[in-house]
Amino acid sequence: NVFEAAYNDSKLDDDRAQKLNERGDELKKGAMKLIQELTVSDQFANEEVKSSYGYLSGYKSKPIVEQMKVLRELFPELGSVDEKLAEADLPSNAEGWFAIPRWEKIASTYGEAVQKVLDLIKQTRDDKFYNYREGKLGSQYLRQHAKTAKMFQIFGDEQKDHDILVVPAQFGLNHRGKSVRRAREVMNASEFGLGAFAIGIMILTHPERLQHYDDLWIDCAGDEYAPGAGGGFSRAPCFCFRGGRVRFGTLGIGRPGGYCGSASGFVPQS
């Protein structure tokens, strides 16, 4: 195979071969990075800009136990979670394990579940919240991206006895500067965009993620939005911080911005 051929062509002596074996973990990580670089699609490659934005307000992922304290207060009707899942090794590129309820346990439709989460963000931030899409979150406007819906179905099947799912994720840094559709394009088979419901939950459990204008804003690549409610799902929701408050709106999926990054989840590979 190609790796064996590269090894043979390197013509390493015994000492250098031993050094390589001792650094096997580094070799593995380097090979994985190279594979990812060589297999990334070039579709929408011009929809990337340089970005220096990050987690200015000091966000770090919290233990599942701490997240659950918040969710229990906000959603006392919710059932169990398998906290032991968060003891496993994180998938590559994930920042932490996140507790995300099944949206079906919150409301009868996805849009209603998103609205409930937005209402709670407003409530927990003393009304310092603005929704540019107020009253326009029905199914004719908002829907989950097909890949995201499929991935959450996998999590739901694997954690079938629990109302709250444990999901490895990252909060936007990995895809900063990319348009939503470029971010979707470069995600591998096990990575998927998170939508407004999941990201809204993560903001509730990690309020420090959006506290400042220069915090990286969050694209919801796991959702699709049709501004005219006519079937043209050309936009995606986003969360930003401006004027001292969190704001919820939408952006075109082909519009890159250095101030934005798509949050994503990962299905752990066995």
Show Cβ contacts of residue 151 under 8 Å, excluding neighbours closer than 6 positions.
Answer: 192, 265, 267
Same domain, 111 and 23: no
Same domain, 62 and 7: no
Same domain, 168 and 200: yes
Domain containing residue 244: 51-266
Q: CA angle, 51 as apex, 46 and 57 as ends, to 5°?
A: 145
Same domain, 4 and 128: no
The Cα-based distances of 51 to 165, 187, 215 in angstroms read 32, 18, 12
Q: Is 231 helix (H, G, I), strand (E, B) or coil?
A: coil
Same domain, 102 and 13: no
Q: How many alpha carbons fall within 13 Å on the CB side of residue 9?
A: 6
Same domain, 155 and 194: yes
Encode pLDDT of 182-235 as tens digits: 999 999 999 999 999 999 999 999 999 999 999 999 999 999 999 998 789 999
Encode pLDDT of 41-94 as tens digits: 788 888 999 999 999 999 999 999 999 999 999 999 999 999 999 999 999 999
pTM across the whole model: 0.85
Residue 45 lies in a domain: no
Q: How many domains does the chain have?
A: 2
Residue 18 class from Cβ within 10 Å (0-12 exposed, 13-18 middle, 19+ buried)? exposed
Same domain, 57 and 27: no
Encode pLDDT of 146-179 as tens digits: 999 999 999 999 999 999 999 999 999 999 999 9
Measured distance CA(113)–CA(110) in Å, rounded: 5
Residue 142 lies in a domain: yes
Same domain, 1 and 133: no
Q: What's the whole-number average pLDDT of the chain?
A: 93
> Which amino acid is it at 167?
V
Same domain, 33 and 88: no
Same domain, 64 and 102: yes
